[in-house]
Chains A and B, each alone.
Chain A
């Protein structure tokens, strides 16, 4: 492809954030939402995901490699910015800064979350079921850690979707970008609800 390595990396970074990571995020939170229908519904849904054919290939290419690339390259991007919201306190400048902050928070959250669930399951320390998440989230510290982590992730996804539309040249005019801002706010609220609602079920059984 034309352009240098930096250009291609940035394009891949932008693409991976939505396809497949954004799609995986929505799928993941949707499957977890089965918890609101009771432990049996969650266990059945989790078992279905667990028993998908060629699961390791799916996990590697749809989840692990894209997130590793997006996360590591994203940290590099985050640290090349010099924030100036104190002098230029415009909405988009705030979003620019929050996108970088939530990216770093999300990476830390995902690293911990994967360690305590997928890796712990893989090593046979715990079993994938409703009980696993209930044990984690009934601890108030981890409940709030998860709330911050999930909201940070959904913000990063929704705002990232906005810049994805600009970076791929879809929204060019100020008007289309403004409408996309409203769409991204709705996406943020909706996906956050799905994620946080599930956390409440695991933590408080409601």
Chain B
């Protein structure tokens, strides 16, 4: 049998949240149709680096393996994306992997995306219907509206848009495009719309819509193809109108 073809991975590792990061190179045997996760699984099966030294297996986060859960985001050859859909055949060699620097690193390639879930809570990214009695069916939604709203609902809170955004960093408190797009989604819902002003007031506060600088990396990077910049512009418009309504007064203010 001829010599085995190998792929090289240069991985930025970190043993604990506080420890210093370091690089480690691995060589794994090539198989057809590999993705980055299958290469990482190979390292886990045989945790030996390129120098032939035994090391700890590389740790990463994953769940669905079909780009719907958002857990396996990492920086692959410089760009943030899902490692499950990063196919080895389409990547430049050697493959460089790093954790998303916008988030606190838990270990190796795994990050803590809690800030995104906190943002969803802050903007109330849900339709409140709990009460002491049955509220009955809500108003119907136009099919045309449901179609674009469905696109927004594909967000899997993966964090790629936050990582790509030049305005989401330690010097700014911007919550990022994902949560702002969810404000648009729930404000477009016929029942969710009843809390429209409340959500808008939240994104008119700290870390809100004004943190956006229109660099538009988010829409280029979103693995789900969500029209994030359209959502940001929609919220820019809605907050501008909300400002006038609340300053000058309006009976149409919710």
Contacts and interface: CB of A to CB of B under 8 A. Distances in A.
A92 B214 contact: yes
A113 interface: no
B79 interface: yes
Given A4-B205, A79-B171, A82-B169, A11 B220 contact: no
- Chain A interface size band reads 35 or more
Contacts of A88: 79, 164, 217, 220-221
Contacts, number: 111
Given A166-B233, A166-B236, A2 B247 contact: yes
Nearest to B169: A82
B241 interface: yes
A84 interface: yes
B204 A90 contact: no
Contacts of B205: 3-4, 6-7
Interface string B196-214: 0000010011101110011
Nearest to A83: B166
A108 interface: no
B237 to A, nearest CB: 2
Nearest to A176: B233
Interface SS, A side = loop
Most chain B CB neighbours (cut-off 10 Å) among A2, A77, A80: A2
A172 B237 contact: yes
Nearest to B101: A82
Given A2-B204, A80-B172, A96 B233 contact: no
Interface in B218-254: 220-221, 227, 229-230, 232-234, 236-243, 246-247
Interface of A: 1-4, 6-7, 10-11, 77, 79-84, 86-88, 90, 92-93, 95-97, 99, 162-163, 166-174, 177
7 contacts: A1-B243, A7-B204, A7-B209, A7-B210, A81-B171, A88-B220, A166-B236
